Structure 1
Protein backbone atom coordinates (compact mmCIF):
# COMPACT_ATOMS: atom_id res chain seq x y z
CA UNK A 1 0.00 0.00 0.00
CA UNK A 2 1.40 3.40 -0.96
CA UNK A 3 2.19 5.52 2.05
CA UNK A 4 0.87 9.11 2.05
CA UNK A 5 4.33 10.57 2.59
CA UNK A 6 6.25 8.62 -0.06
CA UNK A 7 6.10 11.24 -2.81
CA UNK A 8 7.35 13.99 -0.47
CA UNK A 9 10.67 12.24 0.22
CA UNK A 10 13.81 12.95 -1.80
CA UNK A 11 16.59 10.45 -2.41
CA UNK A 12 18.63 12.34 0.18
CA UNK A 13 15.80 11.89 2.69
CA UNK A 14 15.67 8.17 1.98
CA UNK A 15 19.43 7.91 2.49
CA UNK A 16 19.13 9.62 5.89
CA UNK A 17 16.38 7.19 6.91
CA UNK A 18 18.42 4.18 5.81
CA UNK A 19 21.56 5.43 7.55
CA UNK A 20 19.71 5.99 10.85
CA UNK A 21 17.72 2.77 10.53
CA UNK A 22 14.47 4.59 11.17
CA UNK A 23 11.02 3.11 10.84
CA UNK A 24 11.52 -0.42 12.15
CA UNK A 25 8.26 -2.16 13.04
CA UNK A 26 7.49 -2.56 16.74
CA UNK A 27 4.59 -4.94 16.10
CA UNK A 28 1.30 -5.46 17.89
CA UNK A 29 1.22 -6.05 21.61
CA UNK A 30 -0.57 -8.87 23.40
CA UNK A 31 -3.19 -6.78 25.23
CA UNK A 32 -4.27 -3.83 23.08
CA UNK A 33 -6.76 -1.05 23.58
CA UNK A 34 -8.31 1.23 20.96
CA UNK A 35 -8.15 5.00 21.42
CA UNK A 36 -10.73 6.83 19.30
CA UNK A 37 -9.64 10.46 19.20
CA UNK A 38 -12.24 13.22 18.81
CA UNK A 39 -14.56 11.35 16.45
CA UNK A 40 -17.10 14.14 16.79
CA UNK A 41 -19.63 15.87 14.59
CA UNK A 42 -17.69 19.14 14.48
CA UNK A 43 -14.72 17.25 13.01
CA UNK A 44 -16.52 15.68 10.06
CA UNK A 45 -19.50 17.94 9.35
CA UNK A 46 -22.33 16.57 7.26
CA UNK A 47 -22.81 15.79 3.59
CA UNK A 48 -23.67 19.03 1.75
CA UNK A 49 -23.37 21.10 4.94
CA UNK A 50 -19.63 21.31 5.55
CA UNK A 51 -19.74 25.09 5.12
CA UNK A 52 -21.72 25.24 8.38
CA UNK A 53 -18.99 23.39 10.35
CA UNK A 54 -15.95 25.66 10.83
CA UNK A 55 -13.55 22.80 11.64
CA UNK A 56 -14.98 20.10 9.38
CA UNK A 57 -12.54 17.79 7.61
CA UNK A 58 -15.31 16.97 5.14
CA UNK A 59 -15.65 13.81 3.10
CA UNK A 60 -12.13 12.67 3.97
CA UNK A 61 -13.04 12.71 7.64
CA UNK A 62 -16.32 10.89 7.12
CA UNK A 63 -14.61 8.13 5.14
CA UNK A 64 -11.93 7.73 7.82
CA UNK A 65 -14.55 7.53 10.58
CA UNK A 66 -16.39 4.82 8.65
CA UNK A 67 -13.12 2.85 8.65
CA UNK A 68 -12.60 3.66 12.34
CA UNK A 69 -16.09 2.36 13.14
CA UNK A 70 -15.25 -0.94 11.46
CA UNK A 71 -12.14 -1.28 13.63
CA UNK A 72 -14.09 -0.38 16.78
CA UNK A 73 -16.68 -3.08 16.06
CA UNK A 74 -13.92 -5.64 15.51
CA UNK A 75 -12.25 -4.60 18.77
CA UNK A 76 -15.49 -4.83 20.72
CA UNK A 77 -16.15 -8.28 19.27
CA UNK A 78 -12.69 -9.35 20.46
CA UNK A 79 -13.22 -7.96 23.97
CA UNK A 80 -10.62 -5.22 23.42
CA UNK A 81 -11.27 -2.09 25.52
CA UNK A 82 -12.08 1.09 23.61
CA UNK A 83 -11.69 4.67 24.81
CA UNK A 84 -13.53 7.49 23.04
CA UNK A 85 -12.37 11.06 23.64
CA UNK A 86 -14.35 14.21 23.04
CA UNK A 87 -12.64 17.58 22.79
CA UNK A 88 -15.22 19.92 24.30
CA UNK A 89 -14.80 23.48 25.56
CA UNK A 90 -16.95 25.58 27.84
CA UNK A 91 -18.96 28.06 25.73
CA UNK A 92 -17.56 30.87 27.86
CA UNK A 93 -14.03 30.04 26.78
CA UNK A 94 -12.95 29.67 30.42
CA UNK A 95 -11.06 26.43 29.72
CA UNK A 96 -9.61 27.11 26.28
CA UNK A 97 -6.24 28.08 27.76
CA UNK A 98 -3.34 29.08 25.53
CA UNK A 99 -5.14 27.58 22.52
CA UNK A 100 -7.26 30.73 22.61
CA UNK A 101 -4.19 32.69 21.52
CA UNK A 102 -4.06 30.68 18.30
CA UNK A 103 -7.75 30.17 17.60
CA UNK A 104 -10.87 32.25 18.14
CA UNK A 105 -13.63 30.80 20.29
CA UNK A 106 -16.13 29.99 17.57
CA UNK A 107 -19.65 30.67 18.80
CA UNK A 108 -21.27 27.94 16.75
CA UNK A 109 -23.39 24.91 17.61
CA UNK A 110 -21.30 23.09 15.00
CA UNK A 111 -17.96 23.56 16.74
CA UNK A 112 -16.69 21.78 19.87
CA UNK A 113 -18.59 23.71 22.53
CA UNK A 114 -19.92 21.49 25.31
CA UNK A 115 -23.67 20.93 25.12
CA UNK A 116 -23.87 21.54 21.37
CA UNK A 117 -24.50 19.27 18.40
CA UNK A 118 -20.92 19.68 17.21
CA UNK A 119 -19.38 18.31 20.40
CA UNK A 120 -21.28 15.01 20.21
CA UNK A 121 -19.73 11.79 18.94
CA UNK A 122 -20.25 11.43 15.21
CA UNK A 123 -22.70 9.06 13.60
CA UNK A 124 -21.41 5.49 13.66
CA UNK A 125 -19.40 5.92 16.85
CA UNK A 126 -21.07 3.45 19.21
CA UNK A 127 -19.32 2.90 22.55
CA UNK A 128 -20.09 -0.44 24.16
CA UNK A 129 -21.08 -0.99 27.79
CA UNK A 130 -17.47 -1.67 28.81
CA UNK A 131 -15.96 1.24 26.87
CA UNK A 132 -14.89 4.58 28.31
CA UNK A 133 -16.07 7.94 26.96
CA UNK A 134 -14.40 11.06 28.34
CA UNK A 135 -13.86 14.75 27.68
CA UNK A 136 -10.38 16.15 27.20
CA UNK A 137 -9.28 19.77 27.11
CA UNK A 138 -5.87 19.41 25.47
CA UNK A 139 -4.58 17.64 22.35
CA UNK A 140 -3.36 14.40 23.95
CA UNK A 141 -5.86 11.87 25.25
CA UNK A 142 -3.53 11.37 28.21
CA UNK A 143 -3.24 14.99 29.38
CA UNK A 144 -5.39 15.65 32.43
CA UNK A 145 -7.51 12.52 31.95
CA UNK A 146 -7.73 9.07 33.60
CA UNK A 147 -6.77 7.27 30.38
CA UNK A 148 -3.39 5.97 31.53
CA UNK A 149 -4.76 4.56 34.78
CA UNK A 150 -7.67 3.03 32.89
CA UNK A 151 -5.27 1.24 30.53
CA UNK A 152 -2.88 0.11 33.25
CA UNK A 153 -5.76 -1.32 35.26
CA UNK A 154 -6.60 -3.52 32.28
CA UNK A 155 -3.04 -4.65 31.67
CA UNK A 156 -2.87 -2.91 28.32
CA UNK A 157 0.53 -2.95 26.58
CA UNK A 158 -0.37 -1.36 23.26
CA UNK A 159 -2.83 1.05 21.68
CA UNK A 160 -4.46 1.36 18.28
CA UNK A 161 -5.11 5.06 17.64
CA UNK A 162 -7.95 6.21 15.38
CA UNK A 163 -9.67 9.52 14.59
CA UNK A 164 -8.46 13.05 14.05
CA UNK A 165 -6.89 15.24 13.37
CA UNK A 166 -3.76 13.35 12.38
CA UNK A 167 -1.35 16.26 12.86
CA UNK A 168 -2.98 17.51 16.06
CA UNK A 169 -4.67 15.32 18.66
CA UNK A 170 -3.80 11.97 17.09
CA UNK A 171 -0.10 12.81 16.91
CA UNK A 172 -0.05 14.25 20.44
CA UNK A 173 -1.72 11.09 21.76
CA UNK A 174 0.71 8.84 19.87
CA UNK A 175 3.74 10.67 21.27
CA UNK A 176 2.42 10.44 24.82
CA UNK A 177 1.50 6.76 24.45
CA UNK A 178 5.02 6.01 23.25
CA UNK A 179 6.45 8.03 26.13
CA UNK A 180 4.55 5.70 28.48
CA UNK A 181 6.18 2.72 26.72
CA UNK A 182 3.01 1.54 25.04
CA UNK A 183 3.35 0.08 21.58
CA UNK A 184 1.39 2.21 19.14
CA UNK A 185 -0.37 1.32 15.89
CA UNK A 186 -2.07 3.83 13.58
CA UNK A 187 -4.32 2.35 10.86
CA UNK A 188 -3.66 4.56 7.86
CA UNK A 189 -7.25 4.66 6.58
CA UNK A 190 -8.80 5.40 9.99
CA UNK A 191 -7.17 8.77 10.74
CA UNK A 192 -7.77 12.07 8.97
CA UNK A 193 -6.82 15.73 8.74
CA UNK A 194 -7.96 18.94 7.10
CA UNK A 195 -4.80 19.51 5.04
CA UNK A 196 -3.27 16.62 3.06
CA UNK A 197 0.36 17.63 3.61
CA UNK A 198 -0.20 17.90 7.38
CA UNK A 199 -1.75 14.42 7.35
CA UNK A 200 1.08 12.90 5.32
CA UNK A 201 3.98 14.41 7.26
CA UNK A 202 2.40 13.65 10.65
CA UNK A 203 2.02 10.00 9.62
CA UNK A 204 5.62 9.97 8.40
CA UNK A 205 6.93 11.40 11.68
CA UNK A 206 4.91 8.91 13.73
CA UNK A 207 5.98 5.92 11.64
CA UNK A 208 9.62 7.02 11.69
CA UNK A 209 10.03 6.76 15.45
CA UNK A 210 6.94 6.36 17.62
CA UNK A 211 4.31 4.14 15.95
CA UNK A 212 3.59 1.62 13.24
CA UNK A 213 1.46 3.20 10.51
CA UNK A 214 -0.15 0.18 8.86
CA UNK A 215 -2.99 -0.71 6.49
CA UNK A 216 -6.33 -1.16 8.18
CA UNK A 217 -6.48 -4.76 6.95
CA UNK A 218 -3.53 -5.69 9.18
CA UNK A 219 -5.34 -4.31 12.22
CA UNK A 220 -8.53 -6.19 11.40
CA UNK A 221 -6.57 -9.43 10.94
CA UNK A 222 -4.90 -8.91 14.32
CA UNK A 223 -8.20 -8.20 16.08
CA UNK A 224 -9.79 -11.19 14.38
CA UNK A 225 -7.05 -13.35 15.82
CA UNK A 226 -7.79 -12.06 19.31
CA UNK A 227 -11.49 -12.73 18.84
CA UNK A 228 -10.73 -16.29 17.78
CA UNK A 229 -8.36 -16.80 20.70
CA UNK A 230 -5.27 -17.19 18.57
CA UNK A 231 -3.19 -14.19 19.58
CA UNK A 232 -3.40 -13.91 23.37
Structure 2
Protein backbone atom coordinates (compact mmCIF):
# COMPACT_ATOMS: atom_id res chain seq x y z
CA UNK A 1 0.00 0.00 0.00
CA UNK A 2 1.39 3.41 -0.96
CA UNK A 3 2.22 5.79 1.85
CA UNK A 4 -0.18 8.71 2.07
CA UNK A 5 1.26 12.19 1.62
CA UNK A 6 0.55 13.13 5.24
CA UNK A 7 2.23 10.15 6.90
CA UNK A 8 5.63 11.85 6.88
CA UNK A 9 4.22 14.45 9.28
CA UNK A 10 2.62 11.99 11.73
CA UNK A 11 4.24 10.53 14.81
CA UNK A 12 3.92 6.83 15.58
CA UNK A 13 1.46 7.78 18.31
CA UNK A 14 -0.64 9.78 15.83
CA UNK A 15 -0.83 6.76 13.53
CA UNK A 16 -1.92 4.51 16.39
CA UNK A 17 -4.60 6.97 17.45
CA UNK A 18 -6.10 7.12 13.94
CA UNK A 19 -5.92 3.35 13.55
CA UNK A 20 -7.51 2.52 16.92
CA UNK A 21 -10.13 5.30 17.04
CA UNK A 22 -11.80 4.28 13.79
CA UNK A 23 -11.27 7.53 11.92
CA UNK A 24 -10.54 7.45 8.20
CA UNK A 25 -13.15 4.88 7.16
CA UNK A 26 -14.08 4.92 3.47
CA UNK A 27 -17.41 6.67 2.90
CA UNK A 28 -17.48 5.94 -0.84
CA UNK A 29 -18.63 7.91 -3.83
CA UNK A 30 -22.28 8.83 -4.31
CA UNK A 31 -24.68 8.09 -7.17
CA UNK A 32 -25.25 11.63 -8.46
CA UNK A 33 -22.04 13.63 -8.12
CA UNK A 34 -21.06 17.18 -8.94
CA UNK A 35 -17.51 18.40 -9.48
CA UNK A 36 -16.49 21.50 -7.53
CA UNK A 37 -13.49 23.47 -8.84
CA UNK A 38 -12.52 25.95 -6.15
CA UNK A 39 -10.79 29.26 -6.91
CA UNK A 40 -8.42 28.13 -9.66
CA UNK A 41 -7.87 31.71 -10.76
CA UNK A 42 -4.88 33.80 -11.79
CA UNK A 43 -4.71 35.19 -8.26
CA UNK A 44 -3.93 31.72 -6.95
CA UNK A 45 -2.03 30.28 -9.92
CA UNK A 46 -0.18 33.21 -11.41
CA UNK A 47 -0.18 33.57 -15.17
CA UNK A 48 2.57 31.03 -15.89
CA UNK A 49 4.37 28.11 -14.34
CA UNK A 50 7.17 29.41 -12.14
CA UNK A 51 8.52 28.76 -8.63
CA UNK A 52 6.22 30.05 -5.93
CA UNK A 53 8.77 32.51 -4.55
CA UNK A 54 8.93 34.12 -7.99
CA UNK A 55 5.19 33.99 -8.61
CA UNK A 56 4.24 35.69 -5.33
CA UNK A 57 6.29 38.72 -6.30
CA UNK A 58 3.51 39.53 -8.79
CA UNK A 59 0.52 37.57 -7.42
CA UNK A 60 0.70 37.60 -3.63
CA UNK A 61 -1.83 34.75 -3.24
CA UNK A 62 -0.18 32.52 -5.83
CA UNK A 63 0.64 28.89 -5.12
CA UNK A 64 3.25 28.87 -7.86
CA UNK A 65 4.30 25.58 -9.41
CA UNK A 66 2.00 23.60 -7.10
CA UNK A 67 -0.97 25.08 -8.97
CA UNK A 68 0.45 24.17 -12.35
CA UNK A 69 1.16 20.61 -11.19
CA UNK A 70 -2.54 20.23 -10.36
CA UNK A 71 -4.01 21.82 -13.50
CA UNK A 72 -3.67 18.78 -15.82
CA UNK A 73 -5.44 16.60 -13.26
CA UNK A 74 -8.27 19.12 -12.87
CA UNK A 75 -8.55 19.46 -16.66
CA UNK A 76 -8.80 15.70 -17.09
CA UNK A 77 -11.50 15.43 -14.46
CA UNK A 78 -13.50 18.28 -15.98
CA UNK A 79 -13.32 16.62 -19.39
CA UNK A 80 -14.50 13.30 -17.95
CA UNK A 81 -17.40 15.01 -16.17
CA UNK A 82 -18.44 16.70 -19.42
CA UNK A 83 -18.30 13.33 -21.18
CA UNK A 84 -20.43 11.67 -18.47
CA UNK A 85 -22.88 14.61 -18.17
CA UNK A 86 -21.83 15.29 -14.58
CA UNK A 87 -22.21 18.95 -13.50
CA UNK A 88 -19.09 21.07 -13.12
CA UNK A 89 -19.30 24.00 -10.71
CA UNK A 90 -16.55 26.59 -10.41
CA UNK A 91 -16.03 29.14 -7.67
CA UNK A 92 -13.94 32.27 -7.65
CA UNK A 93 -13.67 35.37 -5.54
CA UNK A 94 -15.39 38.67 -6.07
CA UNK A 95 -14.75 42.04 -4.49
CA UNK A 96 -15.66 45.67 -5.11
CA UNK A 97 -13.05 47.79 -6.86
CA UNK A 98 -12.45 49.64 -3.59
CA UNK A 99 -12.33 46.36 -1.60
CA UNK A 100 -14.87 47.76 0.89
CA UNK A 101 -16.45 44.30 1.08
CA UNK A 102 -13.23 42.36 1.67
CA UNK A 103 -14.03 41.93 5.37
CA UNK A 104 -11.59 39.87 7.39
CA UNK A 105 -9.29 39.23 4.44
CA UNK A 106 -7.83 42.70 5.08
CA UNK A 107 -6.83 41.79 8.64
CA UNK A 108 -4.57 38.81 8.02
CA UNK A 109 -2.36 39.77 5.07
CA UNK A 110 0.02 42.71 4.96
CA UNK A 111 -0.20 42.90 1.15
CA UNK A 112 -3.99 43.26 0.95
CA UNK A 113 -3.56 46.86 -0.21
CA UNK A 114 -2.36 45.41 -3.52
CA UNK A 115 -5.92 44.22 -4.14
CA UNK A 116 -6.98 47.89 -4.30
CA UNK A 117 -3.84 49.16 -6.02
CA UNK A 118 -2.38 46.11 -7.75
CA UNK A 119 1.23 46.36 -8.90
CA UNK A 120 1.49 47.03 -12.62
CA UNK A 121 2.26 43.79 -14.42
CA UNK A 122 3.28 44.79 -17.92
CA UNK A 123 2.34 41.52 -19.62
CA UNK A 124 -0.84 40.75 -17.63
CA UNK A 125 -4.09 42.65 -18.07
CA UNK A 126 -6.64 40.12 -16.85
CA UNK A 127 -8.86 40.14 -13.77
CA UNK A 128 -7.02 38.14 -11.11
CA UNK A 129 -10.28 36.41 -10.12
CA UNK A 130 -10.72 35.06 -13.65
CA UNK A 131 -10.48 31.26 -13.94
CA UNK A 132 -7.25 30.33 -15.72
CA UNK A 133 -7.58 29.56 -19.42
CA UNK A 134 -6.25 26.03 -19.00
CA UNK A 135 -9.46 24.95 -17.25
CA UNK A 136 -11.83 27.76 -18.28
CA UNK A 137 -15.56 27.05 -17.84
CA UNK A 138 -17.62 25.84 -20.79
CA UNK A 139 -21.06 27.37 -21.48
CA UNK A 140 -22.91 24.58 -19.64
CA UNK A 141 -20.80 24.91 -16.50
CA UNK A 142 -21.85 26.87 -13.42
CA UNK A 143 -19.72 29.67 -11.95
CA UNK A 144 -20.33 30.86 -8.39
CA UNK A 145 -18.83 34.07 -7.00
CA UNK A 146 -18.02 34.14 -3.31
CA UNK A 147 -16.60 36.46 -0.64
CA UNK A 148 -15.62 33.92 2.01
CA UNK A 149 -13.68 30.63 2.15
CA UNK A 150 -16.59 28.22 1.86
CA UNK A 151 -18.26 27.73 -1.51
CA UNK A 152 -21.54 27.46 0.42
CA UNK A 153 -21.38 30.60 2.57
CA UNK A 154 -23.61 33.34 1.16
CA UNK A 155 -23.88 31.68 -2.27
CA UNK A 156 -26.60 29.80 -4.20
CA UNK A 157 -24.56 26.57 -4.24
CA UNK A 158 -26.91 24.57 -2.01
CA UNK A 159 -29.90 25.50 -4.16
CA UNK A 160 -28.07 24.58 -7.36
CA UNK A 161 -27.07 21.19 -5.93
CA UNK A 162 -30.71 20.59 -4.98
CA UNK A 163 -31.82 21.49 -8.51
CA UNK A 164 -29.26 19.05 -9.90
CA UNK A 165 -30.35 16.29 -7.54
CA UNK A 166 -26.74 15.83 -6.44
CA UNK A 167 -25.95 13.55 -3.52
CA UNK A 168 -22.17 13.88 -3.54
CA UNK A 169 -19.38 16.31 -4.37
CA UNK A 170 -15.89 15.81 -5.76
CA UNK A 171 -13.65 18.70 -4.73
CA UNK A 172 -10.63 20.14 -6.52
CA UNK A 173 -8.85 23.48 -6.33
CA UNK A 174 -7.21 25.72 -3.78
CA UNK A 175 -6.12 26.24 -1.16
CA UNK A 176 -6.31 22.84 0.46
CA UNK A 177 -6.02 24.34 3.93
CA UNK A 178 -8.38 27.24 3.24
CA UNK A 179 -11.27 27.38 0.80
CA UNK A 180 -11.11 23.67 -0.06
CA UNK A 181 -11.28 22.63 3.57
CA UNK A 182 -14.02 25.15 4.41
CA UNK A 183 -16.13 23.93 1.48
CA UNK A 184 -15.55 20.26 2.34
CA UNK A 185 -16.70 20.76 5.92
CA UNK A 186 -19.83 22.62 4.80
CA UNK A 187 -20.57 19.91 2.23
CA UNK A 188 -20.18 17.27 4.93
CA UNK A 189 -22.40 19.33 7.24
CA UNK A 190 -25.08 19.29 4.54
CA UNK A 191 -24.87 15.48 4.35
CA UNK A 192 -23.16 15.20 0.98
CA UNK A 193 -20.67 12.42 0.42
CA UNK A 194 -17.41 14.21 -0.28
CA UNK A 195 -14.33 13.15 -2.22
CA UNK A 196 -11.25 15.36 -2.20
CA UNK A 197 -9.05 14.88 -5.25
CA UNK A 198 -5.54 14.85 -3.78
CA UNK A 199 -3.61 15.60 -6.98
CA UNK A 200 -6.28 18.09 -8.06
CA UNK A 201 -5.87 20.28 -4.95
CA UNK A 202 -3.00 22.56 -4.08
CA UNK A 203 -1.69 24.95 -1.45
CA UNK A 204 1.17 27.37 -1.04
CA UNK A 205 2.41 25.36 1.97
CA UNK A 206 3.11 21.68 1.42
CA UNK A 207 2.88 20.94 5.15
CA UNK A 208 -0.57 22.59 5.30
CA UNK A 209 -1.61 20.72 2.15
CA UNK A 210 -0.66 17.34 3.60
CA UNK A 211 -1.99 17.81 7.12
CA UNK A 212 -5.33 19.20 5.96
CA UNK A 213 -5.74 16.27 3.57
CA UNK A 214 -5.05 14.02 6.56
CA UNK A 215 -7.66 15.72 8.71
CA UNK A 216 -10.32 15.79 5.99
CA UNK A 217 -9.71 12.11 5.20
CA UNK A 218 -10.02 11.24 8.88
CA UNK A 219 -13.36 12.94 9.46
CA UNK A 220 -15.11 14.59 6.53
CA UNK A 221 -14.19 13.11 3.14
CA UNK A 222 -12.42 10.41 1.20
CA UNK A 223 -9.11 11.67 -0.17
CA UNK A 224 -8.69 10.01 -3.57
CA UNK A 225 -6.64 10.44 -6.74
CA UNK A 226 -7.80 11.70 -10.12
CA UNK A 227 -7.33 8.17 -11.45
CA UNK A 228 -9.71 6.77 -8.84
CA UNK A 229 -12.28 9.48 -9.56
CA UNK A 230 -12.13 8.87 -13.32
CA UNK A 231 -12.56 5.13 -12.79
CA UNK A 232 -15.65 5.85 -10.69
CA UNK A 233 -17.06 8.24 -13.28
CA UNK A 234 -16.53 5.70 -16.05
CA UNK A 235 -18.97 3.41 -14.27
CA UNK A 236 -21.69 6.05 -13.92
CA UNK A 237 -24.86 6.33 -15.96
CA UNK A 238 -26.75 9.36 -14.68
CA UNK A 239 -29.28 11.81 -16.09
CA UNK A 240 -28.94 15.07 -14.20
CA UNK A 241 -30.73 18.36 -14.79
CA UNK A 242 -27.74 20.12 -16.35
CA UNK A 243 -27.78 23.65 -17.74
CA UNK A 244 -27.79 23.68 -21.53
CA UNK A 245 -25.45 26.63 -21.85
CA UNK A 246 -27.68 28.03 -24.61
CA UNK A 247 -29.48 31.40 -24.33
CA UNK A 248 -33.26 31.27 -23.98
Match of 1:47 in 2: 49
Contact 1:109 1:116 in 2 (8 A): no
Match of 1:102 in 2: 108
Q: Deviations over 1:38-64 (max 9, x none)?
A: 010111112346232111111111111
SS at 1:188 equivalent: strand
Match of 2:72 in 1: 66
Aligned residue among 82, 103, 117 for 2:127: 117
SS at 1:85 equivalent: strand
Q: State which drifts further: 94-103 or 16-25.
A: 94-103
Q: State which drifts further: 117-126 or 41-50.
A: 41-50
Q: Given the alignment of the two structures, is residue 76 of structure 1 paired with residue 82 of structure 2, yes or no?
A: yes
Match of 1:194 in 2: 204
Hey, what's the Cα distance between the residues in 1 that align with 2:166 and 2:86?
A: 9
1:174, distance to aligned residue in structure 2 (A): 0.2
* Cα 1:124–1:166 shift into 2, 3 Å: same
* Cα 1:185–1:161 shift into 2, 3 Å: same
SS at 1:161 equivalent: strand
Match of 1:224 in 2: 234
Hey, what's the Cα distance between the residues in 1 that align with 2:75 and 2:156?
A: 23
- What's the Cα RMSD here? 2.1
Q: Given the alignment of the two structures, is residue 20 of structure 1 paired with residue 21 of structure 2, yes or no?
A: yes
Q: Deviations over 1:76-128 (max 9, x none)?
A: 110001110011222311111122111223232689xxx95311101212323
Q: Given the alignment of the two structures, is residue 136 of structure 1 paired with residue 131 of structure 2, yes or no?
A: no
Contact 1:87 1:137 in 2 (8 A): yes
Q: State which drifts further: 167-176 or 58-67.
A: 58-67
Q: Given the alignment of the two structures, is residue 160 of structure 1 paired with residue 170 of structure 2, yes or no?
A: yes
* Cα 1:172–1:110 shift into 2, 3 Å: farther
Contact 1:29 1:183 in 2 (8 A): yes
Aligned residue pairs total 227
Q: Which runs of 5+ in 2 are unaligned?
A: 241-248
Stretches of 4+ moved more than 3 A in 1? none
Contact 1:110 1:117 in 2 (8 A): no
Q: Which runs of 5+ in 1 are unaligned?
A: none
